[in-house]
């Protein structure tokens, strides 16, 4: 499941609507919405995101958050390390090969380390 899927499920839960009802209302098939919620589809288009925000009648800040979550929810991530030092490519491949085996607390630790480094070394 992706962060976007979690957000959509929470919105549907709050509104009390099924996948089928939501899919029909926003103009997609129930199968597509199910695949999107289960991480079997890439991130949704801007148009679809606007339809979802409109369907749930969410305020600007919440819509902006939904758009950001969608942007971070593509289940097929590609890391381009061309032109970077060899250690970067090795690290990216190590993450790719071991990601499924990492427990959630390890992901949280790695995310905090990454965020700290981004804050300390802005572009």
pLDDT in the model for residue 41: 83
Fold designation for 3-71: 434 Repressor (Amino-terminal Domain) (1.10.260)
| 3 state SS for the chain | CCHHHHHHHHHHHHHCCCHHHHHHHHCCCHHHHHHHHCCCCCCCCHHHHHHHHHHHCCCHHHHHHHHHHHHCCCCCCCCCCCCCCHHHHHHHHHHHHHHHHCCHHHHHHHHHHHHHHHHHCCC
pLDDT in the model for residue 50: 93
pLDDT in the model for residue 38: 86
pLDDT in the model for residue 18: 95
pLDDT in the model for residue 27: 96
Per-10-residue mean pLDDT of the chain, 123 residues long, equals 88 93 96 89 89 92 91 83 94 92 95 93 83
pLDDT in the model for residue 104: 94
pLDDT in the model for residue 91: 94
- ∠ CA 11-43-87, nearest 5°, is 125
Q: Is residue 52 a contact partner of residue 44, using CB atoms and an 8 Å limit?
A: yes
Each domain of the chain, given as residue ranges in start order, spans 3-71, 86-120
């Amino acid at each position: 499941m992706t962060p976007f899927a979690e957000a959509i499920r929470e919105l549907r839960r709050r509104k009390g609507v099924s996948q089928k009802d939501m899919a029909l209302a926003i103009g997609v098939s129930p199968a597509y919405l199910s695949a999107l919620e289960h991480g079997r589809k890439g991130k949704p288009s801007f148009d679809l995101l606007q339809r979802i925000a409109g369907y749930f009648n969410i305020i600007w800040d919440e819509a902006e958050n939904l758009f950001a979550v969608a942007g971070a929810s593509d289940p097929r991530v590609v890391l381009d390390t061309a032109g970077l030092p060899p250690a970067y490519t090795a690290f990216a491949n190590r993450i790719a090969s071991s990601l499924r085996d990492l427990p959630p607390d390890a992901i949280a630790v790695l995310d905090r380390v990454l965020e700290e480094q981004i804050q300390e070394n802005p572009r």
